[in-house]
Amino acid sequence: MGKGETFQALHAGEPFVIPNPWDAGSAKVLEKLGFKALATTSSGFAFTLGRRDGDVTLDEVIAHTAALAGVTNLPASVDLENGYGADPDDAARAVAAAAAAGAAGGSIEDFDPNRGIYDVGHAAERVAAAAEAAGELVLTARAENHIRGNPDLDDTIARLQAYERAGADVLYAPGLATPEEIRAVCDSVSKPVNVLARPNLTFDEIVAAGAQRVSVGGALTWVAVAGLVSAAERIRDSGDFSVLAEGVKIDQWL
């Protein structure tokens, strides 16, 4: 099977973890660790460019997509943020570009940095346009309200139901905090649900609440950066280079 078919099949099988690499090297490491699929992280990728989340262009994301697709055999889903534009045509253009670059999946969210959360009707139109452009690409529609100042579970569910009707293949509401919230969302829709991992919940707990897919967002990036900061602080403050002995042998991974 091609990457698109493989990715589709994963959503019909056992629940799985889809970790988020921030560059081509981390993607290769995650593949060697045995994960079955990958998802990009907009915040982690922006960090590699020395920027904050949301300060990356579509062209840069598509180049990043092609780089990941070129070094791993795993299907990858691309974080396309809001499609880099408010109009339905913008969402469609972003999804089509990701598919052309080798992505097996892509996500579109309903939040605009300048306009806030879109009206649900407009957001559903954007999902419908993206779904029409997606072809075999697995389209994930995101309801952002839980992490954008409006943690209204009823609104989240209504939005995800609208996006399901509009043609999304996977539904995702970042910020669900408890098994009860996850279960309420999963019980309200018929399409697979992606859940963002939380440090206080295990994979088994999230899956027991109904999730098909569990991603980690930018968290692996920040774990890696935390290791960098800790080692660099010891070098700076005490001249202790022993921390360098803790590094991996890169030829095992690349």
Q: Which residue type sits at 116?
A: G
25-58 pLDDT tens trace? 999 999 999 999 999 999 999 999 999 999 999 9
pLDDT of residue 254: 80
Residue extents of the structural domains in the chain: 3-217
- Amino acid 246: pLDDT: 81
Task: Spell out the alpha helix ranges (H) of the chain.
Answer: 3-10, 24-32, 42-48, 58-71, 88-100, 120-134, 153-166, 179-188, 203-208, 219-238
Per residue in 220-253, pLDDT tens? 999 999 999 999 999 999 999 999 998 878 888 8
Identify the pLDDT of residue 229: 97
Q: In this predicted structure, what is the pLDDT of residue 163?
A: 98
Judge contact between 169 and 147, C-beta under 8 A.
no
Task: Work out whether the CA dihedral 21, 147, 129, 7 comes out positive or negative.
Answer: positive
- Of 239, 191, 224, which is closest to residue 44 (Cα–Cα)? 224
The span from the CA of 233 to the CA of 223, in Å, is 15
Residue-level pLDDT at 176: 97
pLDDT given at position 253: 80
Fold of 3-217: TIM Barrel (3.20.20)
Helix axes 153-166, 179-188, angle to 10 degrees: 30
Which pLDDT does position 241 carry in this prediction? 96
- Quick one: pLDDT at residue 133? 98
Q: What pLDDT, on a 0 to 100 scale, did the predictor assign at position 17?
A: 98
Secondary structure (3-state) at 40: coil
pTM for this structure? 0.96
Contact 26, 41 (CB under 8 A): no
Q: Which stretches of the chain drop beneath a pLDDT of 70?
A: none
pLDDT of amino acid 95: 98
